[in-house]
A and B are shown apart, each in its own frame.
Chain A
Amino acid sequence: MIEELGTTEQGELVINIGPQHPATHGVLHLVVTLNGETIRKVEPHLGYIHRSIEKMCESLSYRQFIYTTSRMDYLSSHINNHACALCVENGIQVEIPERAQVIRVLMDELTRIASHLLWWGAMAMDVGAITPFFYAFREREMINDIMEETCGARLTMNYMVPGGVMMDIHPNFQRRVKELLLQFKHKLPEYHELVTDNVIFQSRTKGVGYLSADDAVSYGTSGPTARGSGVPCDIRKLYPYDVYSKLEFSECLAKEGDTFARYLVRMNELEQSIRIVEQLIDNIPEGDFQAKTKAVLKLPKGEFYQRVETARGEFGVYMISEGAMQPYRIKFRSPGFSNLSALDHMARGAKIGDLVAIMGSLDLVIPDIDR
């Protein structure tokens, strides 16, 4: 139980931000110690949405456990599924058809765009501008429609299975993705005009929540949070999987390490994702969308690890197999958890308004942190 906190002995105010609060985007609970408006300490309390997914996975087969991972980081469920599928494929040593690999990467990048769009709207809303949220959802809706057509679901797609993808892409897929790209490239400058170039937004984010490159490494941050501090950590570049090694795209880095740098990294990643989708959308090779695999998968005895780059950072799956139909133990390395751990360090000495902006720039998804 969390005791009722009022003020500390030094007369500092202790307030609970969350578990229900507009800025935490989920059931995150922050116990914030304040001196007036200045933050002395931020203490995240977790566990409000713990579903013990890792334990559940131990009683599910290698095909089934992938579906639970859609419910972790629900904004990049494709990428989570991708990591698990790759991990199982490592174990059963199966060759994935080229077509399936391309479809997977396409879905990953579309998911990344959708996730970053939602983050962009939420970030703007955190610093007080409500309108961008609706603009972001306009484009995100198009991606959701594409997903619905091909995967049958809009949020928890469960599309990637060991051996490839569950079903072939919808005949409309390529046309609709091209429509999306056309509109999105047209709207992206509008986004920059509305938020990035706004004087108030820049003064709210520049120099706020500084995270040095050393701290970024020592807190274990990854993804845009670490790249905003100038730490190259894009798994797609460092440990390429599927067809990423053949694609042309650049890793987005910024040196400043503040909230605005993290913002810019994500905005640039949107452009890089568009670049990847553009390279692939007309070059989906013919062939099978799924490799032939046994109905009941059994992994050999041993340990398997696979990491991928989700929209929030490095997502890792660590699997121990005892040779049974179910994994013996599964551990997920979620990007949000490590990124959240740096929050206290970044927020100390800042104002309450800054805390919200910093949290926005970390792009926290709470079910990902609390598995």
Chain B
Amino acid sequence: MWSLSKISGLIDHWLNGKLGSGWASVAEMVIVGLCVIGLFAILGLVLVLMERKVSAWMQIRLGPNRVGPKGLLQSLADTLKLLVKEGLTPDGADKFLFNLAPFVAMIAAMLLMAPIAFAKDFQIWDVNIGVLYITAISSISVIGILMAGWSSNNKYSLLGAMRSGAQIVSYELSAGLSILSIVVLTGSLKVSDIIAAQQNGWWIFKGHVPALIAFVIFIIAATAETNRAPFDLAEAESELTAGFHTEYSGMKFALFFLAEYVNVFIVCAIGATLFLGGWMPFHIGSWEGFNHIMDYIPSSIWFFGKTFFLIFLIMWFRWTFPRLRIDQLLNLEWKYLLPIGMVNIILVTIVAIKGWHF
């Protein structure tokens, strides 16, 4: 119903006419890059505010309510403060790596935006190995964290980075397996194909119990991969003060902070795309009227609604659960989630082969 392809087509046509195909694609890349940076900044502001409001709501507080109407400009004020703050580099630090690390973390988060379909026909790069690309790029973010921890010349940072390395590398397996189960059901790695396959029902409903198990594992693994509580061991503030970013200040710290929130958005967006149908509206079998009404809601609202629901879920975890210990964290992955994930993928394969899914 609603499609943004007309607008993007119009811009593409106009640029091609003006600049010729070569320069036009360069110009398009620049535009897309600026859009991603803009989205990155806005997401950071919105998510930080959302986190503070959600936590306040759960902790019988009011949360930020002074800057701007209902405290809406609070995160803007915080950003301003961080921007004008001095970005210290400790004396003993490896200066090059120390300053590079926040950018690595941020670039990894930015690259992950490429294959995500924000609305119908609104996707930066519908690459045919989309899901594989996502799993590959998401592993890069751990390099940024390890770099930061190693180069800070601080024992807390080092411990935090080592924890984070062990954690992200192990939980990637579970996340990968649960993503794979959807790939098996769809038969394609392409993001647009996965969404198209959910036209008559989302995978979480269509895929029976195995899809549900995969979804639960994915949410747990996603929480762990983004270093969020109860898996926030890399920055466990009561143990390691601030973990890998103990020595960072000013905008360099803000980049880590932003990267964390954007990573949360991205894993939730991936979860929404794979299991909850991305921008696909909610359809029930043959209820024509109902399906029609659902179609009237713009696809971007469906996508962001689902994503923010998952983000809320992850925030809910953070403000409810205590933190796991490092050995319990790895036990959970290697002794429970991974074996369950492996059995589950066999179940999913059986479901897919027999065609038991709807």
User: Contact between B230 and A200 (Cβ–Cβ < 8 Å)?
Assistant: yes
B272 within 8 A of A: no
B159 within 8 A of A: yes
B180 within 8 A of A: no
Give residues of chain B (236-274) contacting chain A, Cβ–Cβ below 8 Å.
236-241
> How many Å lie between the Cα of A343 and that of B60 in the bound state?
34
Q: Hey, which chain B residues are within 8 Å of A198, CB to CB?
A: 321-322
CB-CB nearest in chain A for B326: A37
Instruction: Please name 6 pairs of A and B residues whose Cβ atoms are closer than 8 Å in the assembled complex, sorted by A.
Output: A13-B159, A21-B241, A37-B326, A128-B321, A135-B60, A353-B323
A131 within 8 A of B: yes
User: Contact between B239 and A352 (Cβ–Cβ < 8 Å)?
Assistant: yes
Interface size on B, as a range, is 20 to 34
Interface residue from B232, B241, B327 paired with A351 (Cβ < 8 Å): B327
Q: Hey, which chain A residues are within 8 Å of B326, CB to CB?
A: 37, 351, 353
Q: Hey, which chain A residues are within 8 Å of B241, CB to CB?
A: 21-22
User: Contact between B59 and A130 (Cβ–Cβ < 8 Å)?
Assistant: yes
Give residues of chain A (336-363) contacting chain B, Cβ–Cβ below 8 Å.
351-356
The 9 A-B pairs of least Cβ separation, nearest first, read A128-B323, A134-B59, A129-B322, A127-B322, A353-B325, A23-B238, A128-B322, A15-B155, A201-B322
Which of B156, B230, B322 gathers the greatest number of chain A CB atoms within 10 Å?
A: B322
Q: Hey, which chain A residues are within 8 Å of B100, CB to CB?
A: none
Q: Hey, which chain B residues are within 8 Å of A129, CB to CB?
A: 320-323
Interface residue from A128, A131, A200 paired with B58 (Cβ < 8 Å): A131
A123 CB to nearest B CB, Å: 10
Interface residue from A124, A194, A353 paired with B236 (Cβ < 8 Å): A353
Q: 1/0 per position for A285-326, CB-CB distance to B under 8 A?
A: 000000000000000000000000000000000000000000
User: Contact between A134 and B61 (Cβ–Cβ < 8 Å)?
Assistant: yes
User: Contact between A354 and B59 (Cβ–Cβ < 8 Å)?
Assistant: no
Q: Hey, which chain B residues are within 8 Å of A124, CB to CB?
A: 322
Q: Is the interface of A mostly helix, strand, loop or mixed?
A: helix
B319 within 8 A of A: yes
User: Contact between B324 and A204 (Cβ–Cβ < 8 Å)?
Assistant: yes
- Interface residues, chain B, CB within 8 Å of chain A? 55, 58-61, 155-156, 159, 163, 229-230, 232-233, 236-241, 319-328
Give residues of chain A (133-157) contacting chain B, Cβ–Cβ below 8 Å.
133-135, 138
User: Contact between A138 and B239 (Cβ–Cβ < 8 Å)?
Assistant: no
> How many Å lie between the Cα of A37 and that of B47 in the bound state?
33
A125 within 8 A of B: yes
Q: Hey, which chain A residues are within 8 Å of B59, CB to CB?
A: 130-131, 133-135
User: Contact between A37 and B321 (Cβ–Cβ < 8 Å)?
Assistant: no
Which of A138, A194, A356 gathers the greatest number of chain B CB atoms within 10 Å?
A: A356
A203 within 8 A of B: yes
> How many Å lie between the Cα of A200 and that of B317 in the bound state?
12
User: Contact between B155 and A13 (Cβ–Cβ < 8 Å)?
Assistant: yes
Interface residue from B159, B321, B324, B328 paired with A352 (Cβ < 8 Å): B159
User: Contact between A131 and B319 (Cβ–Cβ < 8 Å)?
Assistant: yes
CB-CB nearest in chain B for A357: B325
Which of B60, B156, B320, B323 gathers the greatest number of chain A CB atoms within 10 Å?
A: B323
> How many Å lie between the Cα of A235 and that of B271 in the bound state?
57
> How many Å lie between the Cα of A131 and that of B322 in the bound state?
9
> How many Å lie between the Cα of A15 and that of B230 in the bound state?
24
Q: Hey, which chain B residues are within 8 Å of A355, CB to CB?
A: 239
Q: Hey, which chain A residues are within 8 Å of B240, CB to CB?
A: 352
A204-B322 contact given A134-B59, A135-B60, CB 8 Å threshold:
yes
CB-CB nearest in chain B for A208: B325
> How many Å lie between the Cα of A37 and that of B163 in the bound state?
9
Q: 1/0 per position for A80-91, CB-CB distance to B under 8 A?
A: 000000000000
User: Contact between B60 and A203 (Cβ–Cβ < 8 Å)?
Assistant: no
A258 within 8 A of B: no
A269 within 8 A of B: no
User: Contact between B58 and A203 (Cβ–Cβ < 8 Å)?
Assistant: no
A126 within 8 A of B: yes
Which of B61, B159, B229 gathers the greatest number of chain A CB atoms within 10 Å?
A: B159
B245 CB to nearest A CB, Å: 15
Which of A203, A352, A355 gathers the greatest number of chain B CB atoms within 10 Å?
A: A352
Given known contacts A130-B55, A131-B58, what 10 new A-B pairs fall within 8 Å (CB)? Answer: A22-B237, A37-B326, A124-B322, A128-B323, A131-B319, A134-B59, A134-B60, A198-B322, A203-B325, A353-B323
Q: Hey, which chain A residues are within 8 Å of B58, CB to CB?
A: 131
A203-B61 contact given A22-B238, A126-B238, A353-B236, CB 8 Å threshold:
no
> How many Å lie between the Cα of A235 and that of B260 in the bound state?
51
B302 CB to nearest A CB, Å: 31
> How many Å lie between the Cα of A124 and that of B323 in the bound state?
10
B162 CB to nearest A CB, Å: 8
> How many Å lie between the Cα of A315 and that of B244 in the bound state?
41
B241 CB to nearest A CB, Å: 6
User: Contact between B239 and A23 (Cβ–Cβ < 8 Å)?
Assistant: yes
CB-CB nearest in chain B for A125: B238
Q: Hey, which chain B residues are within 8 Å of A22, CB to CB?
A: 237-238, 241
CB-CB nearest in chain B for A350: B325
CB-CB nearest in chain B for A23: B238
Q: Hey, which chain B residues are within 8 Å of A134, CB to CB?
A: 59-61
User: Contact between B323 and A200 (Cβ–Cβ < 8 Å)?
Assistant: yes
Q: Hey, which chain B residues are within 8 Å of A128, CB to CB?
A: 229-230, 232, 236, 238, 321-324
Q: Hey, which chain A residues are within 8 Å of B232, CB to CB?
A: 128
User: Contact between A15 and B322 (Cβ–Cβ < 8 Å)?
Assistant: no
User: Contact between A200 and B239 (Cβ–Cβ < 8 Å)?
Assistant: no
User: Contact between A138 and B60 (Cβ–Cβ < 8 Å)?
Assistant: yes
B237 CB to nearest A CB, Å: 5
